[in-house]
């Protein structure tokens, strides 16, 4: 590994969804989000992932945790979310080596827009 600089990115995301969603649907979209970010990092020259960690809650009592520590691994999921909800707060934390913070932030913003568009469409 070269002397790539580390990037630590923390982002708080609040989703106010126009329709009620199931936890299975939300988990599926968060896993897609995580996989898309990993693929972006790999294709952008990431040399090492420290971790990508999503923690979501609907009311502070329940939670979802999605964690990735290796590019080639499937996300680890811990799920204690309620069955249906329309508001969720998420904290995203990324530690990686090799891709600039601005690039990662732009990709995350794009993925947030994709999730909001999906859940706020007329399905």
Domain ranges of the chain: 6-119
Architecture of domain 6-119: 2-Layer Sandwich (3.30)
pTM: 0.88
Residue 17 burial class via C-beta count within 10 angstroms: exposed 0-12, middle 13-18, buried 19 and up: middle
Please list the pLDDT of the chain residue by residue as tens digits (123 residues). Answer: 445 689 999 999 998 788 899 999 999 999 999 999 999 999 999 999 999 999 999 987 899 999 999 988 899 999 999 999 989 999 999 999 999 999 999 999 999 999 989 988 865
> Which residue from 18, 9, 118, 29 is spatially nearest to 77, judged by alpha carbons?
29
At 59 the pLDDT is 80
């Amino acid at each position: 590994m070269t002397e790539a600089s580390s990037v630590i990115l923390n982002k708080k995301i609040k989703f106010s969804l126009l329709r009620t969603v199931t936890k299975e649907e939300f988990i599926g979209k968060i896993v897609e989000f995580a996989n898309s970010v990993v693929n972006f990092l790999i294709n952008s020259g990431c040399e090492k992932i420290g971790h990508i960690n999503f923690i979501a809650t609907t009311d502070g009592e329940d939670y979802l945790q999605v964690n990735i520590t290796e590019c080639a691994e499937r996300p680890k999921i811990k799920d204690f979310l309620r069955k249906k909800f329309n508001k969720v707060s998420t904290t995203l934390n990324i530690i990686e080596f090799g891709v600039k913070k601005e690039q990662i932030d732009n990709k995350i913003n794009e993925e947030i827009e994709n999730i909001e568009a999906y859940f706020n469409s007329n399905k």
